[in-house]
Amino acid sequence: MSKASKYIYFVFCYVFFIFVNIYTSSIVVENITNGLKIDNPVFSLNYVKNTGAAFSILKDAGEFLIILAVIALVLLILYVIKHIKKISLKECFFIALLSGGIAGNLHERIVFGYVRDYFQLNFVNFPVFNISDIFINIGVIALIILIIIKRTK
């Protein structure tokens, strides 16, 4: 696949994930604030305004987290630009997913001053999270697996 095609694929995935992220969060939060209740043994919807990062670390450190997110996005995009010939479509996909998650949380920090979290797992003691967090975690785990597979070949 050509460099241009990979760039287009990456940008398309990235924009798609940002759109899904922002749209989904808006719909879920709007429905929760309008009275939607979901509560079962697996998960519940619990709207939380998170001014920190995961596990409530860096609470009220919004400016620092914005800077950190911008740096992470720039580094990911520079990595894609520098290594576009070598990276696979799977890697492009998961870097775009990771970037879309980072961008989703960044967007909420800039627009609202906090991140809107709403998924709560009821079968384990775990922090409330959002779709951005899911994208970030899947992206990181998948990239680690792809790196391990690449190195073992």
60 noted as active-site residue = no
Single-letter amino acid, residue 142: A
Q: Could you tell me if 52 and 129 are in contact, meaning their C-beta atoms sit under 8 angstroms apart?
A: no
117 noted as active-site residue = yes
Helix axes 62-83, 89-112, angle to 10 degrees: 160
* Catalytic residue chosen out of the listed positions 29, 101, 117, 131: 117
Q: Could you tell me if 36 and 76 are in contact, meaning their C-beta atoms sit under 8 angstroms apart?
A: no
SS3 label, residue 60: coil
* Catalytic residue chosen out of the listed positions 17, 105, 131, 133: 133
Tokens 């190195």 found at: 151
Tokens 């001014």 found at: 51
Give catalytic residue positions.
117, 133
